[in-house]
Amino acid sequence: MKAAIFGGKGIVNIGERPDPVIRESTDAIVRVVRSCVCGSDLWYYRGLSPRTAGGPIGHEFIGIVDKVGKDVKNIADGDFVISPFTYNDGTCINCKKGWQANCIHGGVYGTGYVDGGQGEMVRVPLADGTLVRVKQTGFSEEKLRSMLALSDVMCTGHHAAVSAGVKEGDTVAVVGDGAVGLCAVIASKRLGAKRIISISRNPSRQKLAREFGATDIVPERGDAAIQKVLELTDGFGADAAMECVGTGESMNTAFGIARVGAVVGAVGVPHEVRVPIETAIFRNVGLRGGIAPARKYIPELLDDALSGRINPGRVFDMQTDLEHIADAYKAMDERRAVKAILNISDI
């Protein structure tokens, strides 16, 4: 089969990998319909996170089940499925408590013996625990995109909002205008936030943030952004702050714009982040979040995505295919695209 292969800093190739086979009786093989490139893929693409060259990549996909192992009960050949970006058994203590991305027996796609999502086929371990079957059929391209967004970014943005405790009537602020930050705007609106401040300096992302529900745009960064959000909130700060970048500056901004007693919902993969502990302690600002339990959230968000009440698929502003995946990484690296979708096969 064809699959994307990491070739080292700045290099993504399309290559051949063995067609996946059932290795464990709990596996499923999924033919990928749509996949995409994640902001977190850019960390190793840019050489900022270590990653050995030569292996498969990508962790977001939707597709059709091709084959299942003999112990798979909930999923059958031909089912249309959404996979969260991590696989999980659904039965361990962490899964049972709702932390499926921290499954004791789970992991992330594209590591070890597990295929990446950016390829024609994926062996999904622990298929019963992992995959979410979608019963409806005849999806429009728009709905396919929104379901693909549930694989990671929409659930991660939702996790930022849930972790920050966003509730009805709140004034909230989102640091980061990438796909996750934009999804945090969607999630905040869905959870009832009245005022949503998006910190974004990119005109097309500002526009999308507004369409998703942002009521205020702050183009400043760092201390200037903090100052601006405080001005917008009578000097008190936001009821909930979301950190959707993963840098030291963005974490600092998120704490700086959080009101006394608020929580920063942080979902950015951290790179040289120092939590401003003095703000945390002296202003009682909390920190929650982390890798999102997408497997928990997908069923919660699916109806809204299918009905169009939320449209997270709109974060995809570039469409290409496996053959041109290098272009997708390049466009995202250069911030010409928010997020690139890959058309792998027809439904």
Nearest to 197 by CA among 150, 159, 156, 238: 238
Shorter beta-carbon distance to a second copy: residue 181 or 293: 293
Interface with a second copy, residue 257, by CB under 8 A: no
What's the closest the beta carbon of residue 8 comes to a second copy, in angstroms? 24
**Which of 1, 14, 42, 273 is close enough to bind a second copy by CB under 8 A?**
273
Identify the bridge partners of residue 108 per DSSP, sorted by sequence position: 86
**Which of 23, 73, 97, 309 is close enough to bind a second copy by CB under 8 A?**
97
The answer to whether 153 touches 180, Cβ cutoff 8 Å, is: yes
Long-range contacts at 299-303 (CB < 8 A, ≥ 24 apart): 299/132, 301/150, 301/154, 301/155, 301/158, 302/82, 302/132, 302/134, 302/147, 302/150
Nearest to 242 by CA among 279, 187, 316, 302: 187
Ordered DSSP codes for 158-199: HHHHHHTT--TT-EEEEE--SHHHHHHHHHHHHTT-SEEEEE
**Which of 121, 124, 287, 301 is close enough to bind a second copy by CB under 8 A?**
287
Shorter beta-carbon distance to a second copy: residue 21 or 260: 260
Shorter beta-carbon distance to a second copy: residue 73 or 236: 236
Shorter beta-carbon distance to a second copy: residue 132 or 263: 263
Shorter beta-carbon distance to a second copy: residue 21 or 93: 93
Interface with a second copy, residue 232, by CB under 8 A: no
Interface with a second copy, residue 325, by CB under 8 A: no
Contact positions with a second copy (CB under 8 A) in 120-179: 163
- 249's enclosing H/E stretch is helix 248-256
# binding residues, a second copy (CB under 8 A): 36
Residues lying near a second copy in the complex (CB under 8 A) are found at: 93-94, 97-99, 101-102, 163, 236, 251, 260-261, 263, 266-270, 273-275, 277-278, 280-291, 293
